[in-house]
Structure 1
Amino acid sequence: MDDLTNDRARLPGNFFVPEAVAGLIWAYRFREGYPPEPLQPGEVTAALAAEDGWLWLHFNLTDRLAQEWIGSFEPLPEQARKPFLALDDTLGLHAADHVVYGVIADFHGELGEETNQIGRLRFALTDRLVISGRRRPLRSVDEIRRALQGGLNVPVAGALIETIIDRFCDAVARRIAVMTDELDAAEDDVVDDRATNERLRVVEVRRTMVRIHRQLYSLANVMRKWDGRPNETAPPTLHIAAGRLAARLESLDHDIQTVQDRARLLQEEVAARLADDTNRSLRALSILTALLLPGSLVASIFGMNTHDLPFLDTPNGFWYAAVVGVIATALFYWILKKVGAGLRL
């Protein structure tokens, strides 16, 4: 009876993991000296009961049954289960009863395509188990799954979270490179006086960088706080290199702010060029309107239906009136030049 009690304390999976795990997207078992082993839902119980290695269980949190399963998974403390059940998307990293849990950021990955939309990965890890969940497919997490299929091995549970954040940083670096190329192309067009079509491009760069900056800044703060917390005795398997990750996130955030500054300056220059083009167009319209005023005045005078109009009964009177209109326009133009109105378009 005592042996059974000890087994139950050591192997909670025998009692908390059913044969079919609701909402389970994938499961992997990691053992020293072996490649990662993909598991079927029915194999999770036996894997948890084994005394070597550790497991990664990844869930779809839009599945209500998956939330119920995680919510009733008693080996995790209640605090560690709350992020999976809540709608709060605040980034964070916490510890309770030798369990590390929290919420980190990752790019959405729809059908293998990279997007600029950022989602959330919720996770909880012990020395022998990592449970993670998302509501929409995430790019970095899926990349790691494909890497595991290709032979990537993750030695300890804590290293999995590090690897996910590193992949997220790689994705951010790629986007910074793409946005920098976009700014370079827009800047070339502005220098070549082709700024008309560059406004939307620069605005999109700024919008993307602002969104990513918010996530990097928050995640870097989370890692920095975690790195600065009081030292506690915890298994090495739960160690997360928060200081290194914070430094990398802050470096990327600095690059993003550089791109933002360039985009802001370029946006101001594009706006100035467009405003200058608009002013030139309005100036041209104003000049043409002004030059037509004297001729219009002459035409209006000769169009009055009254007696004693000049040239009314004179042969070629129309042409005389036209000459008067041209002379009035030329005189008006000379006056404007004389007062320094500057009629250059």
Structure 2
Amino acid sequence: MLQPVLPLAALPDFNNEVAGLIHGYLFMPQALPQRLNAREATRLAGETLPENGFLWLHINLNHARAERWVQDHFKVDDDFFDEIHSASPRTRLAQQNDALLAVLNDVTFSQEERSTQNATLWIWCCPQVIVTARYRPVGMIERMHQQIEQLPFTAPDTLLLWLLGEQEAQLEQVVRRTSQAVDAIEERLLSAAIKANRSELGRLRRMLLRVQRLLAPEPAALFRLLNRPPKWLNREPLAELRIFTEEFSVALNDLASLMERIRLLQEEIAASLMEQSNRTLFLLTVITVLALPINIVAGFFGMNVGGIPLANNPHGFLLLVIVVLVFTLVAGWLALRRPQN
């Protein structure tokens, strides 16, 4: 007799690997952050957290069930995951329903390896829960995790502001390092390494454009948030957001000035290369003009016809040398004389 087929039991979402949970913490006032696993985080999601307490969950989007686990237990908006799947890595901070949505980028600028690498971090922040998600490891999260017991996080918005400060510091660091590289190129601009300088400036300009696209926040979304913030957002975080906006503006102005400086250096190098090419072309023209008389004379006297002058004159060769020399001097004077104006 056939046995009825029983449905497969769903895997419990209590394992960090199953849930895709990388870091989980419970923050309470006047207490150290408490490390949570997926089981404990799920249990707290069904309870009422104490006042001024909040959860931080950092998930790995490479796990297939990570999104489903967060949606089922923590009531994260579907728009948050729609933003993740939109594949738009540009930095932005905006209000999403009654929560805050942030997209940050962690950029690693290596002058030695001559490359930039970025990892995108998506953040969903509400009054008592903040969720951060990533595909690739994010350096700012790892730095925060290493010193999490020393950081004064009293609310989810303070954690978000700390991450914004880290991104702003990264932007300043990239501008500072690039400015040092441009200074070195400017010092050796007139050296023999002009070709290398030109390619290096082009690489730095492309890198700055990429960094500006990734790290610069969208001004429209940020201004909308500052003008109409969520009701649960306090005045102090809003004041810090305005300060971050001003700092970002200063860093972006420095970046724009640096890009303009690179463009001017590129134009100067291009003008120098063009001047060098013009000198080479002028030198070749002078050589051609100076060789013209002897070529004409050699062409005439090289004809195998009768009646060649000075053929029987014992001083014919000397006379021809004098004639060619005179024509060459006249041609050189005409080619090298400077115009009156």
The normalised TM-score by structure 1 is 0.79
The one-letter code of the counterpart of 1:30 is: F
The one-letter code of the counterpart of 2:232 is: A
Contact between 1:104 and 1:121, CA under 8 Å: does it hold in 2?
yes
Q: 1:95 to 1:17 in 2, by over 3 A?
A: farther
Q: Which residue of 2 aligns with 1:22?
A: 19
Contact between 2:161 and 2:237, CA under 8 Å: does it hold in 1?
no
Q: 1:153 to 1:232 in 2, by over 3 A?
A: closer
Q: 1:59 to 1:314 in 2, by over 3 A?
A: farther
Mean Cα deviation higher: 306-315 or 264-273: 306-315
Contact between 2:19 and 2:65, CA under 8 Å: does it hold in 1?
yes
Answering whether residue 96 of structure 2 is matched by residue 95 of structure 1, we say yes
**Separation in structure 1 between the aligned mates of residue 170 and residue 115 of structure 2, nearest angstrom:** 10
The one-letter code of the counterpart of 1:93 is: A
Gap regions ≥5 residues in structure 1: 1-15
- Deviation digits for residues 292-332 of structure 1 (CA, Å, limit 9, x no counterpart): 11122222222222222234455576565444433321232
Contact between 1:216 and 1:253, CA under 8 Å: does it hold in 2?
no
Q: Which residue of 2 aligns with 1:8?
A: none
| SS at structure 1 position matched to 2:65 | helix
- What does 1:55-94 correspond to in 2, within 5 Å? 55-73=55-73, 75-89=75-89, 91-94=92-95
**Separation in structure 1 between the aligned mates of residue 302 and residue 143 of structure 2, nearest angstrom:** 81
Q: Which residue of 1 aligns with 2:226?
A: 227
**Separation in structure 1 between the aligned mates of residue 312 and residue 323 of structure 2, nearest angstrom:** 17
Give the total of aligned pairs.
321
- What does 1:47-58 correspond to in 2, within 5 Å? 47-48=44-45, 49=47, 51-52=49-50, 53-58=53-58
Contact between 2:109 and 2:116, CA under 8 Å: does it hold in 1?
no
**Separation in structure 2 between the aligned mates of residue 196 and residue 158 of structure 1, nearest angstrom:** 49
Answering whether residue 152 of structure 2 is matched by residue 156 of structure 1, we say no
The one-letter code of the counterpart of 2:255 is: I
Contact between 1:67 and 1:84, CA under 8 Å: does it hold in 2?
no
Mean Cα deviation higher: 172-181 or 233-242: 233-242
Q: 1:104 to 1:191 in 2, by over 3 A?
A: same
Contact between 2:24 and 2:57, CA under 8 Å: does it hold in 1?
yes
Q: Which residue of 2 aligns with 1:120?
A: 120
The normalised TM-score by structure 2 is 0.80
Q: Which residue of 2 aligns with 1:6?
A: none
Q: Which residue of 1 aligns with 2:30?
A: 33
| SS at structure 2 position matched to 1:122 | strand
Q: Which residue of 2 aligns with 1:13?
A: none
- What does 1:1-345 correspond to in 2, within 5 Å? 18-20=14-16, 21-48=18-45, 49=47, 51-52=49-50, 53-73=53-73, 75-89=75-89, 91-96=92-97, 98-107=98-107, 116-148=116-148, 151-190=150-189, 195-229=194-228, 232-234=230-232, 236=234, 239=237, 241-313=240-312, 321-337=320-336, 340=338
**Separation in structure 1 between the aligned mates of residue 109 and residue 251 of structure 2, nearest angstrom:** 21
**Separation in structure 2 between the aligned mates of residue 88 and residue 217 of structure 1, nearest angstrom:** 13
**Separation in structure 2 between the aligned mates of residue 238 and residue 19 of structure 1, nearest angstrom:** 37
The one-letter code of the counterpart of 2:15 is: E
Mean Cα deviation higher: 310-319 or 279-288: 310-319
**Separation in structure 1 between the aligned mates of residue 254 and residue 330 of structure 2, nearest angstrom:** 61
**Separation in structure 1 between the aligned mates of residue 70 and residue 108 of structure 2, nearest angstrom:** 23
Contact between 2:25 and 2:33, CA under 8 Å: does it hold in 1?
yes
**Separation in structure 2 between the aligned mates of residue 114 and residue 33 of structure 1, nearest angstrom:** 45
The one-letter code of the counterpart of 2:57 is: L
Q: 1:86 to 1:211 in 2, by over 3 A?
A: closer
Mean Cα deviation higher: 118-127 or 180-189: 118-127
Contact between 2:286 and 2:332, CA under 8 Å: does it hold in 1?
no
Q: Which residue of 1 aligns with 2:4?
A: none
**Separation in structure 1 between the aligned mates of residue 84 and residue 212 of structure 2, nearest angstrom:** 25
- Deviation digits for residues 86-108 of structure 1 (CA, Å, limit 9, x no counterpart): 43445341232x43224233325
Q: Which residue of 1 aligns with 2:5?
A: none
Mean Cα deviation higher: 304-313 or 316-325: 316-325
Mean Cα deviation higher: 44-53 or 304-313: 44-53
- Deviation digits for residues 5-61 of structure 1 (CA, Å, limit 9, x no counterpart): xxxxxxxxxxx9543443223223323333334434444334545834322211222
| SS at structure 1 position matched to 2:189 | helix
**Separation in structure 1 between the aligned mates of residue 333 and residue 183 of structure 2, nearest angstrom:** 46
